[in-house]
């Protein structure tokens, strides 16, 4: 009788374990779809000194103004590199001019990259899972300071957007459930971040 009970308990444990594994696999796949649909922008300061952080925001504003026809909310992760690369020189020039006008001699580099980012919460409401995202990067000087970041597509933070596409227009209902319920999925987000970080290191 005891052996039967033990077998039943082991069977239940295995069933629960497999259910959790399959659930996480599905969660991971949905997070991958979210990452593929989102375009981010990161402006990274030279350092965490107050003057470098202030400069970061001035460079951000100058780049967004110069590239307003690019950063109108329609630039997606799929076409970011194709559209940004031909305009890098003029975007870097205006960023460099801003830096010089403020009295600094930092270099600046703008590029499109697929880079790893940890789980982040945007505007206290949208949780973006850890992993690789396509991002427009603006790196000032040594690029060792805190960064300003936003979601460029779907447009959630750009100052002059002529596109009324919302995140609900880009993500499906299951993906929206994930990004809107960060607290509910906090454990899965943490496990995903660990797995994605390990994958980044070994690939």
Mean pLDDT by 10 residues, the chain (203 residues): 50 42 65 88 94 95 89 84 91 96 95 88 82 92 90 72 65 82 76 69 63
d(CA 72, CA 153): 10
Tokens, residue 148: 């300003």
Q: Token pair 């596409």 is at which residue? A: 165
Structure confidence at residue 10 (pLDDT): 47
- 133's enclosing H/E stretch is strand 131-140
Structure confidence at residue 43 (pLDDT): 94
Structure confidence at residue 53 (pLDDT): 95
Structure confidence at residue 145 (pLDDT): 93
Report pTM. Answer: 0.75
d(CA 142, CA 72): 29
Structure confidence at residue 159 (pLDDT): 56
Of the candidates 41, 51, 160, which has an alpha carbon nearest to the alpha carbon of residue 99?
51
Structure confidence at residue 197 (pLDDT): 67
Inter-residue contact 107 to 101 (CB < 8 Å): no
- Torsion angles phi and psi, residue 180, rounded to 5: -90, -5
């Amino acid at each position: 009788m005891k052996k039967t009970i033990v077998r039943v308990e082991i069977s239940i444990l295995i069933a629960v374990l497999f259910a959790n594994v399959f659930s996480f696999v599905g969660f991971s796949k949905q997070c991958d779809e979210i990452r593929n649909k989102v375009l981010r922008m990161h402006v990274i300061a030279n350092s965490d000194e107050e003057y470098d952080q202030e400069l970061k925001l001035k460079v951000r504003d100058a780049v967004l103004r110069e590239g307003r026809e690019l950063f109108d909310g329609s630039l997606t992760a799929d076409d970011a590199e194709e559209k940004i690369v031909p305009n890098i020189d003029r975007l870097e020039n205006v960023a460099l001019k801003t830096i010089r006008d403020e009295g600094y001699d930092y270099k600046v580099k703008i590029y499109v990259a697929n880079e790893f980012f940890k789980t982040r919460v945007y505007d206290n409401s949208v949780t973006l899972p850890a992993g690789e995202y396509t991002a427009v990067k603006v790196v000032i000087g040594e690029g060792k300071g805190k960064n300003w970041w936003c979601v460029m597509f779907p447009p959630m933070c750009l100052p002059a957007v002529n596109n009324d596409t919302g995140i609900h227009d880009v993500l499906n209902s299951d993906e929206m459930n994930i990004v809107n319920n960060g607290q509910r999925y906090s454990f899965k987000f943490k496990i995903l971040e660990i797995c994605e970080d390990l994958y980044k290191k070994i690939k």
